[in-house]
């Protein structure tokens, strides 16, 4: 007698027929045939996937209608991956991180903070200070920004001092004027290709001059970014709409700027102004970036002209705790957000991105040190609400990732593993401090090791209601009911084409909108997704030279500059093409310019045929409908 069971996978559920004579090995063979898989998968009987089914010759103990859960091993080990559409030479996959630096000029925020002494002023203590108001004593003299007691007793406590405070500590503990500091020298975990001793390269020869030093993992006491803030909630709402609509995870790149943050002495804040979503393959359990992104250079150039830059990446880690995807409370994808902050694979990805976006710094002997590139995880908190967690990985993690010696573990996402030395690669000894059964502190080999040694958490949030932060783009414009589509969302049916562009512009041409003064002329084109479309569309592409005057005007909020740009031949030609391409005869696109907007203020739209009539006419010139 045959029975039917269900096998649930990340790509869907399929039914498989079994008999009373089938074994667990036979079941695995049927799953391979049904899902067109190799043997890199595991079957579970429970939804929590704790007890895998073996592949023995034991007869099946399953009933008709039972559900089996399938997990592909690659998805479990590598929830975030980069998929390339071309062959890559591994010898060149050291990413040439240094060449990714645009120049050796320091960030403006570092130059600004370097000119500030950073000492924390204290008021006169009425009980301990016995001098006059012009005097100072031990109890009221300004203290250094790295003072441990101040950081510990601050409300809330400051877990990591800022990077600039760390520099002040180095300067104050070093005698004489120093232009560089040895402690700011970057860690190297790779063996030298050529050695001055003259011996053969690894594995035929090795010496103390060419081999890297052993690494002892330490919790980093400072962080390069002290706070992450989104300019408004609409930025992330539009990003999360992908997960709400598909129940699939999503990755985006954060664009914004760095500014001085007064919540921490000499602190730096990363302000997010936009999220760009690169090409990617998504599912409920994993995301694979498609590399290379053909539009990466264009997006970065647009951002640079707008006064922003790529400052981080964001990804979802959500499971809907509701039968309807994207609604109700949410769960942490990996089970417990108090135990798993970042998985090993996510730490590797963060380290890879941070190595691509190095922080130029004059006090480092190498000319660069660490990175300000941040990671934001959108996950569920203990109350089932969506929460935003900000992180960076330490400089030690960046070195391990650059040398390709950090690996994820198979069954414990909160643990990492250091690769063994092989004939192909020499791996230095890596240790961390742990405790034995007698609670004594000992050194342990990092195979495996807890990832909290590599992770630095960063407070993440949004402006409060009283803050006077002006959005860079039109996310808060009340006129826009249907924002322009986000790129690379064809899987949801969201396409960037001439029709969607026309419908977007039509919102600004409604008579009740033009008469209400609800928007400024800059709001029409202040959308990074729209600006990208102007450059990459297939019908009428704008060059960067043609867009630069517009981008400069948007950056400086220059209304006159935007108005002037919208009267040029390129924009007017594009609008004419929109009118030709738009196939709905009930709606027409007038050339969108300041002149036409003002003309609409002196016109009335016929409610019967939508024809625009001169305001003094009492009848419609097209259908003779009486004006009300």
CATH of the domain at 367: 3.40.140.10
Among 19, 47, 72, identify where a domain stops. 72
- For residues 270 and 353, membership in a common domain is answered with yes
Q: Which tokens is 198 given?
A: 């003259």
The DSSP call for residue 307 is: T
- For residues 329 and 388, membership in a common domain is answered with yes
Q: Which residue has better confidence, 79 or 139?
A: 139
- For residues 575 and 617, membership in a common domain is answered with no
Task: Specify the pLDDT at position 290.
Answer: 92
- For residues 379 and 507, membership in a common domain is answered with no
Q: Which residue has better confidence, 76 or 566?
A: 566
Task: Specify the pLDDT at position 597.
Answer: 44
- For residues 386 and 326, membership in a common domain is answered with yes
Among 72, 99, 115, identify where a domain stops. 72
Mean pLDDT of 590-617: 59
Asked if residues 222 and 162 have their Cβ atoms less than 8 Å apart, the reply is yes
Work out the pLDDT band at 460, boundaries 50, 70, 90.
very high
Residues of the domain holding 10: 3-72
Work out the pLDDT band at 585, boundaries 50, 70, 90.
very low
- For residues 572 and 604, membership in a common domain is answered with no
- For residues 565 and 622, membership in a common domain is answered with no
CA atoms within 13 A on the CB side of 335: 10
Say if 94 falls within a structural domain: no
Average pLDDT of the residues of the chain: 83
Which CATH number goes with the domain that contains 20? 3.10.20.90
Mean pLDDT of 308-316: 96
- For residues 287 and 357, membership in a common domain is answered with yes
Cα 392 to Cα 342: distance, rounded to the nearest angstrom? 10
How much is the pTM? 0.79
Number of domain units in the chain: 4
Task: Specify the pLDDT at position 295.
Answer: 94
Task: Give the angle subtended at the CA of 480 by the CAs of 320 and 576, to the nearest 5°.
Answer: 125
Q: Look at residues 340, 456, 454, 458 and name the one whose alpha carbon lies nearest to residue 399.
A: 454
Q: What is the per-residue pLDDT across 33-91, written as a single tens digit (0 to 9) for each?
A: 888 787 778 888 887 777 888 888 888 888 888 888 888 765 444 445 545 444 434 43
Among 442, 461, 480, identify where a domain stops. 461
Task: Specify the pLDDT at position 2.
Answer: 80
Say if 419 falls within a structural domain: no
Q: What is the dihedral of CA 506, 512, 516, 522, to 10 degrees?
A: 0
Mean pLDDT of 82-103: 41
For 89-97, which contacts have Cβ atoms below 8 Å and span 24 or more sequence positions?
A: 94/402, 95/352, 95/355, 95/356, 95/402, 97/355, 97/356, 97/358, 97/402
Q: What is the per-residue pLDDT across 465-523, written as a single tens digit (0 to 9) for each?
A: 777 788 889 887 777 888 899 999 998 888 998 888 888 888 877 655 444 456 778 88
Say if 151 falls within a structural domain: no
- For residues 233 and 382, membership in a common domain is answered with yes
Cα 24 to Cα 386: distance, rounded to the nearest angstrom? 40
Say if 233 falls within a structural domain: yes
Omega of the bond prior to 109 within 30 degrees of 0, cis? Answer: no
- For residues 357 and 327, membership in a common domain is answered with yes
- For residues 243 and 385, membership in a common domain is answered with yes
Say if 197 falls within a structural domain: no
- For residues 495 and 366, membership in a common domain is answered with no
Task: Specify the pLDDT at position 97.
Answer: 39
Say if 393 falls within a structural domain: yes
Give the least confident one: 124-138, 263-277, 363-377.
124-138
Say if 375 falls within a structural domain: yes
Work out the pLDDT band at 603, boundaries 50, 70, 90.
low
Mean pLDDT of 609-626: 75
Say if 319 falls within a structural domain: yes
């Amino acid at each position: 007698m045959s029975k039917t069971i269900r096998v649930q996978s990340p790509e869907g559920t399929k039914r498989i027929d079994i008999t009373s004579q089938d074994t667990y090995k036979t079941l695995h063979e049927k799953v391979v045939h049904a899902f067109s898989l190799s043997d890199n998968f595991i079957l579970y009987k429970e939804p929590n996937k704790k007890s895998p089914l073996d592949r023995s010759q034991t007869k099946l103990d399953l009933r008709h209608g039972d559900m089996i859960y399938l997990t592909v091993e690659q998805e479990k080990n590598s929830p975030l991956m980069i998929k390339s559409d071309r062959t890559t030479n591994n010898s060149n996959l050291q990413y040439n991180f240094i060449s990714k630096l645009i120049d050796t000029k320091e960030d403006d925020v570092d130059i600004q903070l370097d000119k500030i002494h950073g000492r924390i002023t204290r008021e006169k203590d009425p009980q301990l200070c016995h001098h006059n108001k012009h005097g100072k004593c031990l109890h009221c003299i300004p203290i250094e920004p790295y003072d441990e007691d101040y950081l510990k007793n601050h409300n809330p406590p400051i877990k990591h001092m800022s990077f600039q405070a760390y520099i002040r500590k180095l300067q104050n503990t070093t005698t004489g004027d120093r232009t560089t500091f040895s402690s700011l020298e970057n860690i190297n975990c790779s063996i030298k290709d050529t050695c001055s001793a003259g011996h053969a390269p690894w594995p035929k020869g090795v010496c103390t001059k060419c081999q890297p030093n052993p690494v002892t993992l330490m919790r980093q006491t400072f962080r390069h970014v002290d706070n992450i803030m989104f300019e408004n909630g609409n930025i992330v709402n539009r990003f999360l709409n992908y997960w709400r609509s598909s129940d699939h995870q999503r990755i985006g790149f954060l664009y914004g700027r760095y500014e001085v943050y007064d919540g921490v002495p000499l602190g730096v804040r990363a302000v997010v102004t936009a999220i760009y979503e690169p090409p990617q393959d998504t599912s409920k359990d994993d995301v694979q970036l498609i590399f290379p992104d053909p539009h990466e250079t264009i997006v970065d150039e647009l951002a640079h002209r707008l006064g922003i830059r790529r400052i981080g990446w964001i990804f979802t880690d959500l499971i809907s705790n509701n039968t309807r995807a994207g609604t109700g409370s949410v769960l942490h994808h990996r089970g417990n957000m108090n135990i798993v902050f970042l998985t090993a694979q996510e730490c590797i990805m963060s380290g890879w991105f941070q190595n691509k976006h190095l922080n130029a710094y004059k006090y480092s002997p190498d000319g660069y040190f660490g990175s300000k590139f941040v990671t934001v995880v959108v996950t569920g908190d203990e109350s089932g609400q969506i929460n935003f967690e900000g992180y960076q990985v330490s400089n030690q993690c960046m070195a391990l990732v650059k040398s390709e010696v950090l690996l994820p573990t198979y069954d414990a996402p909160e643990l990492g593993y250091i690769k063994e030395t092989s004939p192909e690669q020499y791996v230095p000894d890596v240790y961390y401090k742990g405790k034995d059964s007698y609670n004594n502190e000992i050194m342990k080999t990092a195979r495996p090791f807890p990832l909290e040694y590599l992770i630095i958490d960063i407070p993440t949030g949004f402006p409060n209601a009283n803050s006077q932060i002006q959005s860079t783009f039109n996310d808060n414009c009340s006129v826009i009911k249907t924002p322009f589509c986000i790129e690379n969302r064809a899987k949801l049916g969201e396409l960037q084409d001439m029709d969607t562009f026309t419908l977007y512009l039509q919102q600004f041409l409604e008579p009740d909108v033009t008469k209400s003064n609800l928007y400024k002329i800059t709001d029409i084109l202040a959308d990074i997704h729209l600006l990208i479309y102007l450059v990459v569309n297939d019908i009428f592409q704008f060059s960067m030279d043609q867009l630069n005057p517009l981008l400069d005007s948007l950056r400086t909020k220059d209304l006159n500059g935007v108005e002037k740009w919208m009267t040029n031949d390129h924009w007017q030609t594009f609008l004419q093409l929109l009118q030709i391409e738009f196939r709905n005869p009930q709606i027409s696109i007038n050339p969108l310019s300041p002149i036409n907007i003002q003309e609409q203020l002196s016109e009335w739209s016929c409610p019967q045929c939508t024809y625009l009539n001169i305001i003094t006419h009492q009848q419609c010139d097209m259908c003779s409908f009486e004006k009300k």
